[in-house]
Amino acid sequence: MRWSYKVARVAGIDVKIHVTFLLILAYFGAIYWQQGGLAGAVTGMGFTLLLFLCVLLHEFGHAFAARAYGIRTPDITLLPIGGVARLERMPDKPVQELVVAIAGPAVNVLIAAGLLIFLAASLRMSDFTEIEQAGGGILENLLAVNVILVAFNAIPAFPMDGGRVVRALLAMVMDHIKATTIAARIGQGVAVLFALASLGGPLLQSLAPGLMRGTFLESFSGNPMLLFIALFVFSGAGQELAYARARSVVGRRTVSDVMHSGFASIPTGTPVAHALAFAKAGAQWAFPVVDPHLRAVGLVGLPALEKAVAGGFGDQLVDDLALPAARIQGATPLTEVLGAIAPRVPVIVENSSGQIVGLLAVSE
């Protein structure tokens, strides 16, 4: 992620902080400073840091569960809206996805339980008012934060963990894409409900002032944060669906299905000047140099041919200009290839006898 900086490395995972996270920290510091001076700013920023430590531990929960299934997590990034653990890939088996999804909130359940036990024990030992004064407020707020984190992730919508739990449970009885579609629709339904609660609340209040009094709707009514969450959830669900669709399309296809098979090639032994005249006639810009057995000896680019002719090497053979290229079998599944191919560098596609059958180029 852009504008993210590595601050630590824990158990082989880079911990990164996005610059906007520091802005949020400074913002909270300033607010607390206004309220309580230096002491207030220190307490406020300390609490904000502890809050994000809980978010970080939540992400480590996901990462360690994924590691148990052999999936690496290169980094975890802290953003103002929360943490993102970048897993190398998502687990394919629904049971594994379920465990990885639950492992995050499970960490917050543990922290909350620990705080609850600690607070209850110290309550028994000393006077209640004394704890209030001795910074007990921070621990109580931290307990509340962890409960909120668990509750928020229990919402059955992408990109919250609850959405993944729903998808994983559905995927146990139907195929992945169908499960994702249903989970995404549920998520978008939840988002619409949030938006209605936020926007519709004030309307309902003006129409029938007494109706909402005392109900939970009253506290959500006109809440801009809820509208923000609704938009966040709605787009997250859409992205998850798009990703699952792309994966299902790619998953069944091989290199042969998408390679460029109507390519032009240049036979070995062709003089560079002839090759250039031929190359200029078409729209292709890189040509395989192919021997009589249909085996590619390498690739030659249009600029290289032009340069050679301009330099007076028109009589030279293309064989000398051909550069080695990456080769791949036509039967290779596309899922293994995506991300492994450098953009704009053509790859020679071969059949099982080593003959060239196509070219594969990934645009940027």
List of residues contacting Zn ion (CB under 5 A): 104, 161
CB of 102 or CB of 297, closer to Zn ion = 102
Whole-number minimum distance, CB 161 to Zn ion, in Å?
4
Minimum Å distance from CB 164 to Zn ion? 8
Please, what is the minimum distance in Å from the beta carbon of residue 158 to Zn ion? 11
Residues sharing a CB contact under 8 Å with residue 69, sequence separation 6 or more, in sequence order: 91, 96, 99, 100
Least CB distance from residue 302 to Zn ion, whole Å? 50
C-beta of 104: minimal distance to Zn ion in Å? 3
Q: Shortest distance, CB of residue 207 to Zn ion, whole angstroms?
A: 39
Token pair 């000047």 is found at 273
**Nearest position to Zn ion, beta carbon:** 104
Minimum CB distance to Zn ion smaller for 161 or for 350 = 161
Question: How far is Cα of residue 201 from the mean position of the Cα atoms in its chain?
Answer: 34
Give CA–CA dist 119/143, Å, rounded.
9
Q: Residues 320, 284: contact at Cβ < 8 Å?
A: no
Least Å distance between CB 38 and Zn ion?
A: 35
**Residue 168: Cβ-neighbour burial (10 angstroms; 0-12, 13-18, 19+):** buried
Closer residue to Zn ion in complex, CB, 150/272 = 150
Whichever of 161 and 240 has its CB closer to Zn ion, that residue is 161
Nearer to Zn ion, 104 or 330 (CB): 104
Phi, psi for residue 5 in degrees, rounded to 5: -125, 135
Query: Nearest distance from residue 62's CB to Zn ion, in Å?
Result: 6
Strand order in the sheet with 296-301: 266-267, 286-290, 296-301
d(CA 200, CA 222): 8
Cβ atoms of 76 and 60 within 8 Å: the answer is yes
Nearer to Zn ion, 191 or 304 (CB): 191
CB contact set of 240 (below 8 Å; sequence gap of 6+): 158, 159, 163, 180, 183, 184, 187
Beta-sheet strand order (sheet of 4-10): 4-10, 13-18, 75-79, 82-86
Q: Which is nearer to Zn ion, 104 or 156 (CB)?
A: 104
**Closer residue to Zn ion (CB): 45 or 155:** 155
Q: Of 97 and 161, which has the nearer Cβ to Zn ion?
A: 161
Helices (H), 208-289: 216-220, 224-251, 255-258, 272-281
| H-helix segments, the chain | 19-68, 94-125, 128-131, 137-154, 161-171, 176-207, 216-220, 224-251, 255-258, 272-281, 302-310, 318-321, 334-337
Chain-centre distance of CA 68, in angstroms? Answer: 20
Query: From the CB of 66, what's the least distance to Zn ion, in Å?
Result: 11
